[in-house]
Chains A and B, each alone.
Chain A
Amino acid sequence: DIQMTQSPSTLSASVGDRVTITCRASQGINYWLAWYQQKPGKAPKLLIYKASILDTGVPSRFSGSGSETEFTLTISSLQPDDFATYYCQQYNTLWTFGQGTKVEIK
């Protein structure tokens, strides 16, 4: 099984900050990596797939990069609507989510 490890688990930041979340895979997954955003009481929302492709309607302040075992999600200038929990997911072999990173207000 492929394990996904996100860091940090919690991130405190202010509006306007540049934020980076890291996701590591236990084995190479090429670029079969997605990122989701989830707010309390809501379903997850797909942000990025194939490591770097923004889903339709996702603001350009979000970006993704990486391949094989190391990936990053970057928010270039954090907005009030971005305070949420973010999950990475590999889909190279079945599907596995990371444990999540909560982005909270500093």
Chain B
Amino acid sequence: EVQLVESGGDLVQPGGSLRLACAASGFTFSNYAMSWVRQAPGKGLQWVSTISGSGSTTYYADSVKGRFTISRDKSTNTLYLQMNSLRTEDTAFYFCARDRSRTTVVQGYWGQGTLVAVSS
């Protein structure tokens, strides 16, 4: 069974940094691209970033480019999101997600989310 468990969400001041983690299990981690998707409280879904299975290719939404870095560790089956220069508008639940399959690049499996609150 595919399981994705996020952690690392917290209250942080504007301009601060935070690193989110997503522990993956139940599948061969390096075979699948992984993504972060966020949702501000009461708002819609926003794609944030995606990393290929090998980790060699990354993609970012314009709103986070240059501030956030996605990475993965195949030795621990963990996905990360390093968030720097945080802004109040980054406040959201952050979900990690796995591609549905190796050929279907939509988010087919999701974690339960972790809350990042950016406030002074």
Q: Which residues of A contact B45 (CB under 8 A)?
A: 36, 38, 44, 87, 89, 97, 100
| A91 in contact with B106 (CB, 8 Å) | yes
B110 and A55 contacting across the interface, CB-CB below 8 Å:
no
- Choose from B50, B100, B110 the contact partner of A49 (Cβ within 8 Å): B100
In the complex the two chains form, what is the Cα distance from A34 to B97 in whole Å?
A: 15
Contact with A along B32-67 (1 / 0, CB 8 A): 000101000000111100100000000101100000
The count of A-to-B residue pairs whose CB atoms sit within 8 angstroms is 52
Pick the contact of B59: A46, A50, A94 (CB < 8 A).
Answer: A94
Report if A14 contacts B (CB, 8 A): no
Q: Is the CB of A97 within 8 A of B47?
A: yes
In the complex, which residue of chain B has the Cβ closest to the Cβ of A53? Answer: B104
Shortest Cβ distance from A38 into chain B, in angstroms? 8
Q: Do A91 and B105 have beta carbons less than 8 Å apart?
A: yes
Residues in chain B within 8 A of chain A (CB atoms): 35, 37, 44-47, 50, 59, 61-62, 95, 100, 104-108, 110-113
